[in-house]
Amino acid sequence: MHAISLQPPYLIFLGDESRRTYAKTGAGLVDWRRQLCAGQFRLSADAADLGLPDMSIEEAVAAGVKSLIIGTAPVGGALPASWQPALVAAAGAGLDIVAGLHTRLADNPGLSAAATSSGARLVDIRVPPAELPVATGKKRSGLRLLTVGTDCALGKKYTALQLERDMRSAGLDADFRASGQTGIMIAGRGIPLDAVVSDFLSGAAELLSPDNGPGHWDVIEGQGGIFHPAYAPVSHGLLLGSQPDAFVVCHEAGREQISGWEHYPVPSIEDVIARTVAVGSMTNRNIRCVGVSINSSTLPATERGAYLAALARRYDLPCVDPLVEGTGAIVDHLVQQFQP
């Protein structure tokens, strides 16, 4: 698998992005690697606030920061022109620039010149390994769990990370497998599947989760959404290549339209389960849903319990908010379903 080496501590760059949904890279690092994050750099007071100290480039350098990490994920993955002066200044001051964009940092003449002058590195996370294989479709040893979603940016990565933590606490042999730029930054390894040429997408997913011991679980970070009008292709390729034995559906309470594609409704959890089984059974006939993960941040705390209980009754599956009560109920159900 593709491994990366980043130099902490980090300055999280948020630009002028005010929507936390699109600041998910920075938020993920703060939530799962808080000890490595020294501050945030915002171009506007209206930009998303991750709860870190605001720092200028000069203050970050004085504080010993080594890397500026671009913490936003703009649609299309391009580098906005308005960011250029700040990023060039950071590279010129000797900070490594780390990004998970589709645009390559080294292709930017200003950034490249500044980094060459100071000795800073330009680190692109969204670069897949060379010579990826075409999928074989052959069954691999070990066990796999994939997180899938009713939409993008609603908790697939967080659910997978919490599942890994709770599975290990329960004595299971489990590893988080990162398939997106933020997950790779958190884990230090992985494959950015949405940057892979489509012919090799399922092969990359096979490589992401290779043969393993019979009791070992790979907990695979989901991508996109199987009903998403733009990102469904990566979801299908990941599903076919990962050959999951189990999957968990992730959903945000109250979200009714696909984020950024408001003319498309969010599919029901029931529809996502049915289509995931229909597509996934092509490479693993025994695929099954083992739980539902809910991002309940839009609900009053007093309503969360009843909401989860209603879903649990409807789908006859454990339903949890992983950031409130963890995923222990799903892990318990998983153990029961896959007893040797």
Span 34-44, pLDDT tens digits: 999 999 999 99
Which amino acid appears at position 151 of this protein?
Answer: D
Q: In whole angstroms, what is the distance from residue 65 CA to residue 9 CA? A: 5
288 and 187 in contact (C-beta within 8 Å)? no
pLDDT at 18: 87
Span 214-259, pLDDT tens digits: 999 999 999 999 999 999 999 999 999 999 999 999 999 999 999 9
Half-sphere exposure of 203 (CA within 13 A, CB side): 14
Domains of the chain with CATH codes: 2-124 (3.40.50.720), 143-337 (3.40.50.300)
Span 4-41, pLDDT tens digits: 889 999 999 999 988 887 898 999 999 999 999 999 99
**Cα angle 217-219-224, degrees, rounded to a multiple of 5:** 150
| pLDDT exceeds cutoff 90 at 317 | yes
Q: Which two tokens stand for residue 93?
A: 């001051």
Q: How many CB atoms lie within 10 A of CB 85?
A: 11
| pLDDT exceeds cutoff 80 at 2 | no
195 and 7 in contact (C-beta within 8 Å)? no
